[in-house]
Amino acid sequence: MDGLSARIGLGCGRFRGGFEESNARRLLDAALDCGIRYFDTAPSYGASERILGRGLRGLRGQVELCTKVGLYGAAPGTVWTLRGLVLAAVRTVLPEGALDKLKQRRRAPRAAAPEQRGYGNFDLALIRPSVERSLEALETGYLDCLMLHEPRLSDPTQELAQLLGTLVHEGLAVRLGVGTHSVLEDLPAFGDVAQFAIGPGGCKDGGARTLIGHGVFRGLVPGMFEDCAREAGIFDSVPALKRILAEPVGVSALLLNAVIFGTNIRRVLVSTNSPKRLQALMSTAETMFGEIQSRNDRELGMRLRDSVERYLQRKVAAGAR
């Protein structure tokens, strides 16, 4: 099995320009220092492609870049500019822990509303111009992966597949795929890669496609996952993990490893605004990765898978009550 960093990608949806660009660049540098070499972006992520292009100058041969077509960005307005000013000021005076608590307090009173599914626009006339703009922003001549962003099951028509195949033939993209903020079952069977939100049923076999999961830490309930890991017998198989779990990001690191070792997901995208948190997560996860890898066998893999499935099912059930 590859090392941990080879199984991790950085989701760059939080890379914003203006007053927040300096933090995005620090986050990119932290990811590179941690050994992360896969970066996921999209035109709808605002300045993300441009920030990546600048930050990865001279490193193109060492990294993989994935972007998308279908959802197209808009210029940032006054609200986003003001938000950037506020966040930049807050980061200069508050430590990471205090900022995390402030975000949690802001989110806590709000009831979870069901997400509305949006779909991409795959008009053939829009595809090539979008890819060309992305290549220019990313300062590269090719994409390691080009995804359809939020496709309907019926979107990959023969004409669209032919156009995308032409882009691959021209060397503008190496692989094609599909990506969604929703679950694997909502994606059409198209391309070599499927990127989706990790949830109940998301550990299924994706066939010949490479599976990329995201959102594993969204709404994390630490005590719930620790209970699931204990019930699955993970600490009986690898006692050292119980000690490492006490680290500030220990539960997140264990969940990350459980997905990597226990499921068919090939790569996990992580996303954060905090370079320090990313570094702490990768450091703790690397330690756990070594402990699991040194003892890994079929039984431990099944226990890790069981812990993930138990947790995802319970989290959904708890949210439904």
* C-alpha radius of gyration, the chain, whole number: 20
| Residue 254 tokens, joined | 């264990």
Residue whose structure tokens are 């070599």: 192
- Whole-number pLDDT of residue 319: 81
Going along the chain from its start, the domains and CATH numbers come out as 4-320 (3.20.20.100)
Going residue by residue through the chain, which has 321 residues, state the pLDDT in tens, using 9 for 90 and above: 689 999 999 999 999 999 899 999 999 999 999 999 999 999 999 999 999 999 999 999 999 999 999 998 764 444 444 554 454 454 455 555 555 555 445 444 444 455 567 899 999 999 999 999 999 999 999 999 999 999 999 999 999 999 999 999 999 999 999 999 999 999 999 999 999 999 886 566 667 899 999 999 999 999 999 999 999 999 999 999 999 999 999 999 999 999 999 999 999 999 999 999 999 999 999 999 999 999 978 999 999 999 999 999 999 898 855
- Whole-number pLDDT of residue 117: 74
Calpha distance 293→2 (Å, rounded): 10
- Whole-number pLDDT of residue 196: 97
- Whole-number pLDDT of residue 207: 78
- Whole-number pLDDT of residue 83: 52
Q: What is the DSSP string of 213-270?
A: EE-TTTT--HHHHHHHHHHTTHHHH-THHHHHTTSTTHHHHHHHHHHHHHSS--EEEE
Strands 64-69 and 143-149: parallel
- Whole-number pLDDT of residue 101: 54
- Whole-number pLDDT of residue 2: 83
Adjacent-strand bridge partners of 14: none
Q: Is the dihedral of CA 60, 66, 69, 71 positive or negative?
A: negative
- Whole-number pLDDT of residue 211: 97
Claim: this prediction has a pTM higher than 0.75: yes
- Whole-number pLDDT of residue 85: 47
Q: What is the DSSP string of 31-85?
A: HHHTT--EEE--GGGTTHHHHHHHHTTT-GGG-EEEEEESS------HHHHHHHH
Calpha distance 176→190 (Å, rounded): 8
- Whole-number pLDDT of residue 98: 55
- Whole-number pLDDT of residue 199: 87
- Whole-number pLDDT of residue 235: 97
